[in-house]
Amino acid sequence: MKEVIFSSCLAAAMGRFVALRQLSGSDYRSQALLLARFDRFLASEGFDRACPDADVVQRYLATAAGLAPRSRANLLCVLRQFCLELAMAIPQCHVPEPGRHIRPADAHVPYIYSDAEVRAILKGALALSPPVSIRPRTFHTLFGLLWSTGVRVGEAMALDLRDACADSMRLHIRDGKFRKARWVPLSESTRDVLRDYIDLRCEMFPTTDQSALFVNVRGDRLRHSSVYVGFRNVLAAARIPGTGTNRPRIHDFRHTFAVRRVLLWYAQDLDVNVLLPSLATYMGHVGIGSTQVYLNGAARLLGPVGERFHEHFVQHVAGRA
């Protein structure tokens, strides 16, 4: 991934801050992009002081008023972390107060895609333009991979050809979140679709082992902006609704994967509590706490959970009364 470049009067301090955070094991890229937003604001304001003051911080935060609550919270969190670090060397640096916790009503509610909606999304991807280019097959394979494996969209876009071991039915995520590498098993149907895409991709563009797996119409690695635009077009064509805090996102493929897996375990009468660590490892989480976030509030889980509790009550509680 490209290095984030800062250009304001605080560019050097921002660069040192990001480098320090990366030493902790996180790539800190998404946070660095949020900090770059502040950097651009300072440059546009002609700010030339050694550290931010209360006035410039408040004016900057005002520019985020139109963002979603979660986005505003993330933006403030990164800015506060940077100011806290800078204040250790320059005590006059203004440190904004921590933001309020996001109310449940304002938090994004994961959109769990139904099987019919996934089929419509994959069909819509194949209908994308230009029809004679690799673009429809790229998005069809990418969206199908996200749904069937639960990998992060950034991880999928970072895959090289050498990472797609279709014959051995697995993917190699070399540099996941927190720089955690892992192998991701593939189902037979996913392997077949991926193998067909690789054959087409190698036929259309010159390749090496380190060439990008998913490419655009020019044979270059996909950009996040083009993936999100393509996904929105497919959602519109598939007429998949979503309003307010329940707008469908590409990241919700990952939520859908986690929910489907847990529902399957419930259907197989397996001990979900014992299996959650395996799911956490598969999804590249540092612990099951992160995995549970993907399951909180999933309405489709409430039925199986309630049934399991009722069975437990009847067998182990009511029987002793």
Interval 248-287: pLDDT, tens: 999 999 999 998 998 888 888 888 888 888 888 888 876 7
Tokens linked to 180: 């955690």
Q: Write the DSSP symbol of residue 179.
A: G
Q: 243: how many CB neighbours lie within 10 A of its CB?
A: 6
The terminus-to-terminus CA distance of the chain in angstroms comes to: 62
pLDDT at residue 108 in the model: 66
List the single range of 36-45, 162-171, 201-210 with lowest mean pLDDT. 162-171
Interval 170-192: pLDDT, tens: 999 986 665 678 899 999 999 99
pLDDT at residue 306 in the model: 55
Q: Where are the domains of the chain?
A: 11-87, 115-246, 252-320
Residue 63 has pLDDT above 50, yes or no: yes
- Mean pLDDT within 51-57: 95
pLDDT at residue 104 in the model: 46
Alpha helices in 29-181 (DSSP H): 29-45, 54-62, 69-87, 115-126, 135-149, 153-157
List the single range of 15-19, 146-150, 162-166, 237-241 with lowest mean pLDDT. 162-166
Q: For residue 204, what is the enclosing H or E element? A: helix 188-204
pLDDT at residue 80 in the model: 94
Q: Which CATH architecture has domain 115-246?
A: Orthogonal Bundle (1.10)
Provide the β-strand partners of residue 164: 171
Interval 90-120: pLDDT, tens: 999 999 988 754 454 455 678 889 999 999 9
| Spatial contact of 244 and 70, defined as CB atoms under 8 Å apart | no
DSSP calls for 262-301: HHHHHHTT--HHHHHHHHHHHHT-SSHHHHHHTTTT-HHH
Tokens linked to 288: 């099951």
Share of the chain above pLDDT 70, in %: 83
**pTM of the predicted protein model:** 0.69
* Residue 297 binned pLDDT confidence (cut-offs 50, 70, 90): low
pLDDT at residue 169 in the model: 83
| Spatial contact of 197 and 126, defined as CB atoms under 8 Å apart | no
